[in-house]
Amino acid sequence: MNAKKNELEFVLKGERHTYPCILREALLQDSSVQFAAYRLEHPFDEDSRFVVKTKGKTPKKALTDALKKIDSNLNEFKKAFKAAK
């Protein structure tokens, strides 16, 4: 992990594309996030390297907000799914 004032680099262990893609989209919905991306070092790699750059909010706060948004969206989906049964 590498943290600077407006930039954060970290690795998501055991995550290839599904969760990193969801996280990237949630981060990019935040207007304070200037850049959010991930990459796999190798096609067979099981870990995703993430980079988040912000302006006006710390990257850790942006990451926390995105994770809360994902959790909220999943809870809404779960309720809607149960209601549809």
More confident of the two residues 52 and 14: 52
Do the strands 7-12 and 2-3 form a parallel or antiparallel pair, or are they unpaired?
antiparallel
Question: Would you say residue 3 has pLDDT above 90?
Answer: no
Query: pLDDT for 29-65, tens place per residue?
Result: 999 999 999 999 888 889 999 999 999 999 999 999 9
Listed residue (66, 54, 69) closest to 24, CA to CA: 66
pTM to 2 decimal places: 0.87
Residue 65: count other Cβ atoms within 10 Å of its Cβ. Answer: 17
CATH 3.40.30.10 assigned to domain 2-84? The reply is: no
